[in-house]
Structures are given as structure tokens and as C-alpha cells.
Structure 1
Amino acid sequence: MKRNIRLKKILMAALTAVTVLTATGSYSIVNHGAGEVAEAAGRVVKINSCTISGDNVVVNVSASSLPSSDDGKYYLYADEVYQDGTVGKVVATTERASNATFTFPLNHYTAESNLSKKFLVAVKSGGSMCQVSDEHYITNPEAIATKTVARNDHGMKGILPNTADAATFKDLGVAQMVYNLYMGDIVGPSSDPAQPTTEFTYNGATYQFNTAALAQYDGFVRWCSLNNFQLTMTVLNNKTAAGADLIHPLSRDAHVCPGYAMNTDEDGGTQHIKAIAAFLAQRYSGGAYGTVDNWVVGNEVNARTEWYYMNSTNIELNVSEYVKAFRIFYNEIKAVNANARIYTSFDQEWNRKSNPGCFLSKEYLDRFNYYMNREGNVDWSLSVHPYNAPLFDPYAWKQQAQYVNTTLATPYITMENIYILTDYMCRPEMLGPNGNVRNIALSEIGFTSSFGEDAQAASITYAYTMAENNPYITSFILFRETDDAHEMESHIAQGLKNLDGSKKMSYDFYKYLGTAQAATYKAKASEIIGHDVNALVTNRTFLSRGGWFLND
């Protein structure tokens, strides 16, 4: 979602290079806002699995050595996501041993629900409870799903629409849509007296939803279902009076942006987020409104000041707080619809920042993956936005060498080197719990026509060909079908149509990609590029260039 807040920053002539940062997989102290917590070093008990079995949760643990204990017992604590250490509730005990198992009720739909809590093992030593394991979440919430819906996977071509023009999208052969949902808008009493407030009881509490605001989303989800468009919904956390408790305490200053960090620091906000995730999953898993197959938790979450704001530059704090929100959405949604996919979202600034207040997407991805592995690997998916660098550069097939290269140290991930990312996701430590490479969605991509419609058409053709030849990419979502006048002030004209609705050259190119007529348009694109598109993609040919593109 590259609004003008992003465009103006990308247009800055001077960008500061940064050193490539990678996760080490270990560290000593993390500040979680509620105190400093010693991490994995010295914790001799490992939680090997934490899974739902029937109405219970079963936790299996092992110990490299037996920790000292006053009474020879292990205690299993269930903490809320905002709690650290032995401060939650003891849900089970067992005899201390090299291998042990805890079994306790899931208590789903009650005030004692354990679905989205985290668990840890402790012993009583010297009269005090001492944590002897890392935290671990339930990793199979889909085991209790009651509204599982068959996925509507039938093509990768998509669009992030700015109209509801079904005829245009069907003419283009679009299979997928992306839409943005703002949590702050849908909570609280209905804004229209003619539409009574929707009430939702979850885990022993009743929550209000704005029926009038929901109508916008109800209508769009239903429209997508009726027109056979697979839908991805991006959940953003905006500020409203009704949703004040959803905003993280470190996000409550005067900073203005479209998305704020979710409140995983306080009980009220945490429980409200659980209810929202469960409500959305239940509302949009088949039935009267249709289905959301894919959910994206936040947008470009590494872009701290722009899309997932917290008043903190500590990456460990920021990532750990986001992981808590992600875990809630993952478990609550998958517990309703087992086939739903839950995505995290990053921008293209792999090893270089346009805004020094943000985080590099690679370092954020590494830390996110570290936490997810450490606390129970699940089948999360990845959403990326591999725009050109800078955004208004018109040549997807020959990016500037100062911004894009074919090494892991590349400043940006664009369509010319998208395989750097997908190859990286093939590493053992990045794989899903089933050993497979994660689903990777290009959920936002676009190319300007400000410097020639031929360049835009060729860029879209090249980029789509790169995506369709990559076995790990599941979607290619263009942003947008019609130009935006404000964005055009910054040379960003990414639409397939002009402001007056007339079609650009790129319209037919995109229409015929992925069809029997694709070869004709690939041949036209190859003529514009000066190289065969298929050969460029198959051979991973890299046509970098130096200097400013206006001089090329």
C-alpha cells in the first residue's frame, strides 16, 4: 500500500546505505516493556510439542538435565501474550523427568480459553517458581475448526481494486482480489440507527461491532464470492474512539499513519483482538457473506513509522509485539477455518531503508522467523511487495545497480531479483512445519507509465513471467486498475487505465498473460526490452544499469 507517505520518502535523492543484518538465532536480554526477561540460555527443559487433542491440550517436554526442584514436579503455566515468566495460571503439573507430558482442558469459548495463550514450564526451587523452558504456543488450532471452507485457488493473476467493476476484472482474467479492513472502524456500536449493533460473545465476554461499517466488508466479500474472485483481506489497525483499546500503549502518541501496532500489552486490548479475529473468521468462512481465503496481519510491518507504528526503534521489542498479534490472528482464524492462510507482510527494502525510522525487511523477517520457530513453528505465509527501486523507475527488467543486485546483500528485492527472496525461503530454517517452502504472495506490485506506456507494458509482462515461473509464488496482485491523480504528482501512474477510464497499452498485455495468447504479448514485450522475456526469466539474466534512469 504505497500511499504518498511512502512515495515522497522514496523520491528522496539521497539514501543511506546500511549494513546487512542477519539474525543470529540467539541473544541474552529482550525488553518486552513489562520487564527484562532472560532468554533461552540456561533453560534446560524444551517444549517439543503443544497441540490440541479433542477437548484437551497436550504438551510434551524433554530435559537435557533435570533442574533442581523443591518437590520434584514440573508446573505448566498458561500466560496471556502480554505476560512474561511465572505470572499466569498453572494449568497442569507432572512429575519432573527427562520426558514428561501435560494434559489440560482447552476450554475454548470460555473465559479460561487456552487457544491463544503461551505456555512455559517451571519448577519450584528455593521456595520460588523458576522458569525452565522457553514459551510455546498451540500449533494446530485447525484441529477444532468447524467452518472449514474449500479454498478458491484458481489462478495467480490479481488486482487491488479501486472500483467494483466486475466486467473489467473478468475481462482481464483476474482470479484474485486484495482488500483492506480497518479494525477501528468495525468495532463499537453501529453508526447507523437503522442497523442495530452486532453483538458477538466470545470467551465469556460480549463485544460490539458496527453493523453499518461491516456492511462495506460484507458487500465486498459477497461480491468477490459471487464473481469467483479469491479474496485476501489485509487487517489494519487504525485509530478510532471505539477501537482505542486496540492501539498499543507505545502507539498512542501524536504520530499519524494508516496503521498502528496492535495492543498485545494490556488485557483489554488483547482479549478484544482475539474476539475480532474470531468474529471475522466466523463471519467470512462461507455462509451468507462468502469467504476470505487469505488474511494478512498488518501491512509492511517492517515499515515502523508508516504501517505498523510503535514509538520504539528496538527491533526485538517491535518484532516480539507483532509476533504476539500474529499468533492471536493465526490461532483464532485457523480454529474456525482450517484452510485459511495467514500472512505476514514486508516491503521491498531488503537491506536499505528509505526511512531511517523503519526496519530492514530482511532483518525483520529473520527475527519474525526466529520467534515463530522458537515458540512453535506453524504454517504461516509470506506477503511481499517487490516494487521497483525507486518506485517510479519504469524498467522492471533492468534495475539500477546501486539498488538491486543478485546477492543476498541486495539493497532491494524487486521483480528482477525476486528469486533472491524465494531462494532464501528455501533454507531449512525458513521452512514450514511440514518441511515445505511457505506460500509467498506478491500481494502488491505495480509499474508506472509516467515515462512511457510501452515500458509499463513490458515491465508487467516481465514481472508476471518471473512470477509464473517461480514455483513458490501463489499470487501476482497489481496495484491498481486506474491511475490516482495524487500519486501521479510523484510520477506514479500504475493503473491499467488512465484517469478518464481509457485503457493503456498495458491493459491488453495483462489481460492476455496466462492465456493461450500470452506468446503474442510476450513477443511484443521482448521487442520493447530488446531481449527475449522467457529467456531472461529462465536464465535469470540480470540486466543492471548505472546512473539515473532519465539518462538511460
Structure 2
Amino acid sequence: MKKRTLVRLVATSCAVVLSCSLLHAGVLPGGSEGAVSYAKGKNSKAVATVSTATDPVVLTGAVIQGGNVVVSAQSPAPPAADDGLYHLLAQNVYENGALGKEVAQAGVGASANFSFPLAKNSANSNLFKKFTVCVKRGGVLTPVSSSRYLTNPEVTATHTAPRAVAGKKGLLPAAELLSGNSLKQLGVKQSIYNVLLGSICSRGGIPYTYNGKTYQFSSGMIAQLDYAFSRMNAQGIQVTAVLLANPGDPSIVHPLSRG
């Protein structure tokens, strides 16, 4: 695949994911349950969990296996449940407690495994959900675990490219340096490039369907990024794009949250 095509796919995919999160954040309900913490898991990958006050059930894994999601749990002292079942909920980033959609069940015990479809690229996609175990008490679902996100979403990538580590000399280049060979002459091997989400999420030119919904991206801005990244790649420079949320731009603010 040509670099330009890959750049376009990566830029639009990342922008969709982050803009969706920002849209959800615009309608985030007041209050919260617990706090977000980060810890190192296997292979030194960051694992994000949302801790509650008490966690009788501990989620020990949430991974993609083929076309399914497999969530594993352990409980040294299994909690009481009206129906003797664990109910696994898939939740959006802004949902707390027992909000969300039930995706699997398992018998209450010291250990449990849940398996259900990933449903990538559909309205029911679980790729960016968090998962929480609940039990029924008095007929009401009650959370008994922390929430855990998938730890290997990268296995679903359609296009991948190895990172080039030719050197550590880096620079955030001015636009006028891209047209010549100044960066190469300086021996630059790494570059950081800031991308404002609002500038590429505006309407015009590039439709992108994500989980059954179509978003629009600026063809002009994507073309500029395409040129900048291609110029640097042609000079042997590894580019790291930093996606920045510019809150003043209405294109990334939920309509109900605008002034």
C-alpha cells in the first residue's frame, strides 16, 4: 500500500475514535464512581481499569480472540446473586454502575469466562467498550467488579507498518522546512507533528463510515497532512502525529454542549 493511502487511513481512523470519545464526553453525566488507574500488564502494555470502592470480582483479562471478545474473572469470595449468575455488561466510556448492554453470562464462582462477538465495524461493536461484572440483588443489577478495556485492540488493524528507529535526533519542523532537504541535512530522524482534531473533523470531501455512522473529514487538511508526512518519510524521517483536541471548535463538541 502506498504511504499516502496509509496516512489517510490512519489519520481518519484515529480522528474518528477520538472525536467519538469527545462527543460522548460532552454528555457525560455528573459524578463518577471510583477513579481511573493504569498498570503495566504482560508485554509491558498499559492496562486501564476503573476501580470501584469494593471489587469482590477481579477482571483478569479482556482480549480479542478471532472474531470474539474473551473476558476472564476471578473471585476469592464469590458474591451472592439472586439467580446464581454473573452478568457481564459492555459499557461506553461515559457509562457507570449497571448502565450498558448485557453481552454474556456465567455461573457465579471462583472463576468465570465470558465469550461474545467483537462485532467490529457495526453499530454493536465492542472494540472500544469497557466491561463490568454485575450480579442481581433484589432483582436489580449491581456492579461487583472494576471495569476493564480490551488490551489487544491492535490485532484488528487492517494496515500495519513497523516503526523505523534509524536515530533519535528529532524536531518539530516549521512548514517551510518540508519543501527542501534541510531536515535531511540536519540529520533529523524523528519528527513530531501536531494535528488539531477540529481542523480535520470539519465537513468536506472525505466520508468515513464507523460503526454504522458516516463522518465527514476535510479533504484539504488530509491532503496537507499527506504531503507533510510523505515529504518527511521520503527523507527517512519517522513521523509521530499528535492528535490535539481544540475545544473551541464546534465540530468536536456535542450539539447539546455548545454555548
Contact 1:185-1:243 within 8 A present in 2 as well: no
Paired with 1:59 and 1:69, the residues of 2 have a C-alpha distance of 20
Whether 1:201 and 2:209 are equivalent positions in the alignment is: yes
CA deviations on 1:227-246 (whole Å, 9 max, x unpaired) are 21100111111232333339
Matches within 5 A, 1:409-420: none
Whether 1:234 and 2:230 are equivalent positions in the alignment is: no
Contact 2:202-2:217 within 8 A present in 1 as well: yes
| SS of aligned partner of 2:221 | helix
The structure where helix makes up a greater share of residues is 1
Of 148, 154, 173, which aligns to 2:166?
154
Residue 63 of structure 1 is matched in structure 2 by 75
Query: Quick one: structure 1 residues 242 and 41, their matched pair in 2 at CA, closer, same or farther if it must change by over 3 Å?
Result: closer
Note the C-alpha offset of 1:113: 0.5
Residue 20 of structure 1 is matched in structure 2 by none
Percent identity, aligned pairs only, is: 38
Note the C-alpha offset of 1:42: 2.3
Residue 543 of structure 1 is matched in structure 2 by none
CA deviations on 1:360-403 (whole Å, 9 max, x unpaired) are xxxxxxxxxxxxxxxxxxxxxxxxxxxxxxxxxxxxxxxxxxxx
Contact 2:103-2:116 within 8 A present in 1 as well: yes
Whether 1:188 and 2:196 are equivalent positions in the alignment is: no
Paired with 1:115 and 1:216, the residues of 2 have a C-alpha distance of 30
Whether 1:34 and 2:9 are equivalent positions in the alignment is: no
The residue type equivalent to 2:239 in the other structure is L
Unaligned runs of 5+ in 1: 1-31, 191-196, 254-552
Paired with 2:70 and 2:30, the residues of 1 have a C-alpha distance of 29
Matches within 5 A, 1:23-422: 33-37=29-33, 39-162=51-174, 163-165=176-178, 166-190=180-204, 197-238=205-246, 239-245=248-254, 249=257
Unaligned runs of 5+ in 2: 1-27, 35-50
Paired with 2:88 and 2:63, the residues of 1 have a C-alpha distance of 14
Note the C-alpha offset of 1:215: 1.6
Note the C-alpha offset of 1:84: 0.5
Query: Quick one: structure 1 residues 172 and 36, their matched pair in 2 at CA, closer, same or farther if it must change by over 3 Å?
Result: closer
Residue 493 of structure 1 is matched in structure 2 by none
The residue type equivalent to 2:183 in the other structure is F
Q: Which has the higher contact order (CA 8 A, sep 6+)?
A: 2
Note the C-alpha offset of 1:33: 4.6
| Alignment RMSD | 1.9
Paired with 2:74 and 2:110, the residues of 1 have a C-alpha distance of 5
| SS of aligned partner of 2:114 | strand
| SS of aligned partner of 1:219 | helix
The structure where strand makes up a greater share of residues is 2
The residue type equivalent to 2:238 in the other structure is Q
The residue type equivalent to 2:76 in the other structure is S
Contact 2:118-2:127 within 8 A present in 1 as well: yes
| SS of aligned partner of 2:254 | helix
CA deviations on 1:19-50 (whole Å, 9 max, x unpaired) are xxxxxxxxxxxxx7533425533220000000
CA deviations on 1:265-301 (whole Å, 9 max, x unpaired) are xxxxxxxxxxxxxxxxxxxxxxxxxxxxxxxxxxxxx
TM-score, L = length of structure 2:
0.77
| SS of aligned partner of 2:181 | helix
The residue type equivalent to 2:148 in the other structure is H
Paired with 2:94 and 2:215, the residues of 1 have a C-alpha distance of 21
